[in-house]
A and B are shown apart, each in its own frame.
Chain A
């Protein structure tokens, strides 16, 4: 993978699939293990769903910007939409008993479960979410070292 790569994508369901596919390919190329690749791709998928559905609300004039950066220690993925900005205080805990049987509201929880760092920066011109996965010695770096 190049050190960084960026894509500007339409607000469609295809973008969600494409974002997931790109994350899977890049995480695999870097050398993450199978479980970590699945975690990264799922976190990116959930983030892309939020950007397309809740952020841009499928608006054809609004774009989703997806970027991947490989640093010596991390894979850093940033997804930015052009919506009204997520209300961080309005995100319910999906593990609370009263929310367990709700049919939505688990996306950010899954991102936080699967990534080492999740930073959410809402603004009036959109939301930017940064997903970071450390390249650990026992996974990607270890795999590279053993080859």
Chain B
């Protein structure tokens, strides 16, 4: 299953609903383009909803890191929402879990922005 992304606005926050695989190639490129496009349009409060992401490889992990740092460098904030066990475990073993702001509840994620 390839990756699908859709965006929606909730109280000034952009939620990016992701599903499928974030892997080298199309999935990673879509993620990169979407976040860059949002930032270019001034949307700097971003939540990546990964609840339906069933697979991610090291390229996908790199893309999450890139999205996080790119957003931060432009004065924005990016949070991760609804990690599946696979993604959660990968972020744990790569020591990235504590780097990202990870949320389990969308309302709390939206309210958590400064």
Contacts and interface: CB of A to CB of B under 8 A. Distances in A.
Report if A and B associate in a common complex: yes
Interface stretch (B34-42, B61-69, B103-111): B61-69
Interface residues of A, number: 20
Given A38-B86, A101-B65, A113-B93, A16 B58 contact: no
Contacts of A109: 94
A46 B95 contact: no
Contacts of B99: 100-101
A15 to B, nearest CB: 11
Contacts of B90: 110
A29 B86 CA distance: 21
Tell me what chain B mostly uses at the interface: helix, strand, loop, or mixed: helix
A103 B62 contact: yes
Given A46-B58, A106-B58, A106-B62, 9 more contacts: A13-B24, A13-B25, A42-B57, A49-B58, A100-B95, A101-B68, A102-B62, A107-B58, A109-B94
Interface of A: 13, 16, 38, 42, 45-46, 49, 53, 94-95, 100-104, 106-107, 109-110, 113
Top 4 closest pairs, chain A to chain B, by CB: A103-B62, A106-B58, A103-B66, A107-B58
